[in-house]
Amino acid sequence: MSMNRVLLSAHVADAAATSCTRAFPDAASFRDPRVGRAVDSNATDGHAIDWKKVREMFPLAPDMTYLNSGSEGSMPHELLDSYARFNREWATDPSYSFFASPRFGETQALNRQAAARFVGAIEEDVCLTNNTTMGLAMVAFGLPLRAGDEVLTTTNEHWSLLSPLTVLAKQRGIRVIQLPVAVPFADPDALVEAFEAAITPRTRVIAFSHITWTTGARFPVRALCDLARDRGVISLVDGAHALGMLDLDLPALHCDFYACSGHKWLNGPPGTGLLYVNDAAANAAKLLPILSDEAVQSAPGTLITDLLQTRGCNNGPGLTAMIDAMAFADTIGRAAIEAREIELAEHAKRRVIETWGAAALFSPAPGRPDLSSGLTSFLPSADPARARDQAFVQNVVSALWDRYRIYVRTTLFPAYPADDGATLYAIRASTSLFNDAEQVDALVRCAAEIAKE
């Protein structure tokens, strides 16, 4: 298959190219041909991609091993170039930045179209945001929740979801119920059953991660959202880790709201993301526009996504460059990226088990890619009690960086099923498309050396 085909096969690429060409007159060449040249021509069937060459597309410092895309990705060289170009054009003619300017409106509309296509949605159902935190807060605070209403969530959620829910509990008297998640996560049916059993006539929302930040467990989104639909409950999904890692088709997940980030696994600019609202036209009444400068002057019936999209001056260059990040992912192949990131995580899991035993692995066991992601959480010790020792885990993480320039982070979660209220600590490694098995081996080897001391 020719590289031309690889380049054109990306369904977002055309929209992205159109977007940039029309909005930024000299940006027609934003899709640097290096992308095509660096990838083996078999890329589209998901095999034989030269991942070393993919790695070379990123400016990551050669003396560091970066394993934390779950917090922040890295922009490839070509994206840095196009982002810089968009910024320069914006600065050269600042009328772009005025949100009422026709050119800004046109750029934004094209960006929304391209972003929507990337997740299988229509433009009306997508609003470009700054990050997952913003999308989750827009929904949580925008829902008409009242005292006594119940929100079901889990004990493995990120603060970006728990914070707005906690504010709502304090301010409006909603009840937030956190269902325990077994670690390692192994039984998706049990999680669905736990949600089902917890639904009461007061339940208004179920809110949960697609992929947990704690252990990288992939929750059964479709089954949970179908349950919510059946029971007349709203579903809100924290998809921070899914965009760019998984080959996403958001409408197929049957969720009402899905918030995600462009700056993690997608490797887009910092402070970019998107919020998906299922059937925004029909579901407008479910959500109030809590962050908008259009709400007072717009015609009745204006789409909620349009209202939320219009919120003062936005980072136009960054959001335009996020579309380039989508085109970049499509050029390599989304299925290939997903397979690569999960295979690296599988490798990490096997190495952890070989080194410290099965109990040291907190992420779903190897051999269950359906439950897994590019995040691997583990204890660098064969002694399970050390998971309760925050200082031990933090020291290993710090020494990995200080001595070996290996960058990972700590994570924490409740010890369940152990019912003593303890918190467990672990190392979390993110394996992205620019990482490789040798880096994973080095992580495990060096962590084992440090932990022995």
Chain positions contacting ligand PLP, by CB under 6 A: 70-71, 131-133, 158, 160, 209, 213, 238, 240-241, 261, 273
**H helix count then E strand count, the chain:** 16, 12
Whole-number minimum distance, CB 158 to ligand PLP, in Å? 3
Between 132 and 310, whose beta carbon lies closer to ligand PLP? Answer: 132
Between 116 and 211, whose beta carbon lies closer to ligand PLP? Answer: 211
The pair of three-digit structure tokens given for residue 229, joined into one six-digit string: 């639909």
The pair of three-digit structure tokens given for residue 28, joined into one six-digit string: 């027609």
Q: What is the dihedral of CA 191, 193, 197, 202, to 10 degrees?
A: 70
The pair of three-digit structure tokens given for residue 424, joined into one six-digit string: 């467990």
d(CA 408, CA 161): 23
Whole-number minimum distance, CB 271 to ligand PLP, in Å? 8
* Residue 440 neighbours by CB distance under 10 Å: 24
Helix %, strand %, coil % for the chain, to 5? 50, 15, 40
d(CA 123, CA 388): 46
Between 96 and 258, whose beta carbon lies closer to ligand PLP? Answer: 258
Between 242 and 284, whose beta carbon lies closer to ligand PLP? Answer: 242
d(CA 280, CA 340): 34
Whole-number minimum distance, CB 140 to ligand PLP, in Å? 12
Whole-number minimum distance, CB 273 to ligand PLP, in Å? 6
3-state secondary structure of 107: helix
* Residue 72 neighbours by CB distance under 10 Å: 14
Between 203 and 377, whose beta carbon lies closer to ligand PLP? Answer: 377
DSSP H or E segment with residue 144: none
* Residue 210: DSSP 8-state: S
DSSP H or E segment with residue 397: helix 390-404
Whole-number minimum distance, CB 70 to ligand PLP, in Å? 6
Whole-number minimum distance, CB 48 to ligand PLP, in Å? 32
Whole-number minimum distance, CB 453 to ligand PLP, in Å? 30
Between 356 and 407, whose beta carbon lies closer to ligand PLP? Answer: 407
Between 303 and 397, whose beta carbon lies closer to ligand PLP? Answer: 397
